Amino acid sequence: MPPDSAPSANLRISIDRKGPLSLQEQIRRRIVDDIALGVLVAGTRLPSSRQLSRDLGISRNTVILAYERLVADGHLVSKDRRGLFVRSGAFGRDLGAVQVTGPGQEQSEAAWRSSLAPAALPKLPPSLPPDWDQYPFPLVDGPFDRSLFPVAEWREASRRALSVQEINAWARNAGDADDPMLVDELRRKVLPLNGISARADEILVTTGTQQALSLICDLLVHEGMTVVIENPCHPELRMLLHKRGVRIRTLDVDAHGMQVSAKALQGVDIVFVSPGRQRPTGAALSEERRAILLEMAARKDIIVVEDDCQWEAGLATGRLPALRGTPGGENVIYTATLIQPLAPAIRLGVLVSPAPVLRAARTLRRITARHPALSIQRTFAHMLALGLYATVLGRVEAAFARRMTALREALNYYLPTKISILPTRLGTSAWITGPETLDARQLSKRAESRGVLIEPVEDYYAGSAPQNIFRLGITGIAENKIRDGVAAFAKAFRETMDRTPSDTRFDPGRALKGSAIKKACAGATLLCKTVYGDPCTITLERDGTMHGRAGFANEDRDTGRWWIENDFWCRQWSEWSYGEAARFRVVLSGERIEWYHEDGHLVDWAILVRQSRKQRKAGA
């Protein structure tokens, strides 16, 4: 093809000068996307750096650097005195010539749903909303707020793990073996913290406690066995056991942990227990009950599976060693999740067991999920070797202690006579009992309407559960927000206990005017629920567009527009609400926004989250 006959690209690149990505990065990503999607086909000539910089109103050097990187990465090719061209086969083949087809969504989904085995569809308890951290007061246990993420330590360990020498060490095919450096560091610096001494052939790295428990159930739990679990306990463990057709015996938990006795363990094959910090109440198994459990396990040949739940949160509170690290606990199988504040980046756990069980678990891991990525294992190994892990644990535990103190002090101030807290060592949550007439599910809904997330606990129980118990946690909320969160929660608590019907009629005196509505909503995020009870997040852009995502995995999405008409807030979705336009009067109370129909009835509410000036500047 003669030089002048090559097709020239008309790049449709939009630049966001306030976005988090550099201008060079934005150019590279847009060109790569267009090549991958077939918009830019092989042989297409790119505009000159001078032309593109003039079109975008940016420095020519920025365009030159973006082009040079695209050439180095193999997406573009430079031809002398002719310019830059899209390289043939940049993504393995020319996608522009590929016809992409598939079955209709409804037909495909219906066919596959009918093919699923009933056992593959367990009824899981509701998850946290995917945008839980957007709520003003997430008083829940488990998710970690970003302030606890050890950025500096993770970067330092990652830098070392990604050196050429280190890559050569962990990038080779190691078969089923875990990273030897990590296994050695766990043996010397982590397990001894819990009194555990273990050989390398007794340690398996997992993606967390849940994978370890699944491996144990597959290997050691058989149909017809009698298995003891705590009540309450983590519902996923109960589901794992139900699938295996075992007889489940539940032992209630009190302030001293699972109510273990010699009589209760008669005829039992396996016991699952979380002695250090019971999941979910936080109670520690007393020394007397630990002794009974280990004695019966040795005398009756009972397998004990220990879930060392949140052990990292209790190192400074003088906790007892793990059962595995106690005399007589040599045959206990130990599981724990490691470095929980790093969970968004890595999920690592450890399984410690006698060598024969460990070898079988390693084989089973190979045919399911294989080992966690060796690059991640080596990074964590460096955190341990450099002492960074100990630094992180100390900092996180100190933050937890301050937050739990703030939580208890706020509860004592706002609800001193209404509730009782299970007496446990300081950890990350409080197990709370309210008046007998309290409905914790209703309390949870009312609290959420005030921007407070709490956790009802009925899903943790086998069989009927008390309706007046709930749990508050501090892992996801800053210390300086806890008191205000408890104050808002206390209002929801009093409203739940008050049987007087609430007034949902519209008060014209509280309604916002059009300009105030626009000021409050432009650039804001709305957190609400669908009619099915699923979490829903709506972002209101300043240009009048809006984006919605619903479901516990943000799986349902739609776009639309919003506008102000006189003193009404108006909206129209593309597909949701049948695509019909609607308008409402608006009342704003703190972080709660309420929409009222023109006839004065409350239609819906949401938590309104405004972006800070810093967030707007960063394009967050």
- Region at 257 (left for phi over 0; alpha for psi -120 to 50; beta for the rest): left
192-196, 514-518, 549-553, range with the lowest pLDDT: 549-553
Q: Give the pLDDT confidence score for residue 168 in this predicted structure.
A: 87
What's the average model confidence in pLDDT over 264-287? 93
Residues 241 and 9: their CA atoms lie apart, in Å, by 60
Q: Give the pLDDT confidence score for residue 418 in this predicted structure.
A: 83
Tell me the pLDDT tens digit for each residue of 326-361: 998 888 999 998 877 777 777 899 999 999 999 999
Contact 373, 182 (CB under 8 A): no
Percent of the chain scoring above 90 in pLDDT: 50
Integer distance in angstroms from the first to the last C-alpha of the chain?
Answer: 46
Residue 619 has pLDDT above 80, yes or no: no
Tell me the pLDDT tens digit for each residue of 17-54: 877 889 999 999 999 988 888 888 888 899 999 999 99
Q: Is 252 helix (H, G, I), strand (E, B) or coil?
A: strand
Write the DSSP assignment of 542-578 as a string of letters.
TTSEEEEEESTTS-EEEEEEEEEETTEEEEEESSGGG
203-207, 226-230, 481-485, 610-614, range with the lowest pLDDT: 610-614
Tell me the pLDDT tens digit for each residue of 552-591: 888 889 999 999 999 999 999 998 887 889 899 999 988 8
Q: Give the pLDDT confidence score for residue 41 in this predicted structure.
A: 85
Residues 448 and 419: their CA atoms lie apart, in Å, by 19
Nearest of 58, 73, 45 to residue 14 by alpha carbon: 58
- Rounded to the nearest integer, the mean pLDDT of the chain is 86
Domains of the chain: 3-97 (1.10.10.10), 132-145+392-497 (3.90.1150.10), 151-390 (3.40.640.10), 508-618 (2.40.128.20)
Residue 537 has pLDDT above 50, yes or no: yes
Residue 7 has pLDDT above 60, yes or no: no
Position of tokens 């706002």?
414
Residue 598 has pLDDT above 90, yes or no: no
Q: Give the pLDDT confidence score for residue 136 in this predicted structure.
A: 93
Residue 508 has pLDDT above 70, yes or no: yes
Q: Compute the half-sphere exposure of residue 616: CA atoms within 13 Å on the CB side of its CA.
A: 11
Residue 158 has pLDDT above 50, yes or no: yes
297-301, 370-374, 486-490, range with the lowest pLDDT: 370-374
Tell me the pLDDT tens digit for each residue of 229-263: 999 998 889 988 988 889 999 999 999 999 999 99
Q: pLDDT band at residue 371, thresholds of 50, 70 and 90? A: confident
Q: Compute the half-sphere exposure of residue 526: CA atoms within 13 Å on the CB side of its CA.
A: 25
Tell me the pLDDT tens digit for each residue of 446-497: 999 899 999 989 989 988 889 999 999 999 999 999 999 999 999 999 889 8
Q: Give the pLDDT confidence score for residue 620 in this predicted structure.
A: 41
Tell me the pLDDT tens digit for each residue of 380-415: 999 999 999 888 888 888 898 899 999 999 998 888
Tell me the pLDDT tens digit for each residue of 72-113: 998 999 987 788 999 887 666 555 555 555 555 555 667 777
Q: Which helix (H) or strand (E) holds 605?
A: strand 602-609
Contact 239, 463 (CB under 8 A): no
Q: Give the pLDDT confidence score for residue 185 in this predicted structure.
A: 94
Nearest of 517, 444, 491, 395 to residue 125 by alpha carbon: 444
Position of tokens 């991958």?
36
Q: Give the pLDDT confidence score for residue 1 in this predicted structure.
A: 41
388-397, 506-515, 610-619, range with the lowest pLDDT: 610-619
Q: Give the pLDDT confidence score for residue 124 in this predicted structure.
A: 66
Residues 35 and 94: their CA atoms lie apart, in Å, by 9
Position of tokens 């067991």?
353
Query: What single letter denotes the amino acid at residue 435?
Result: P
Paired tokens of 257: 């942990």
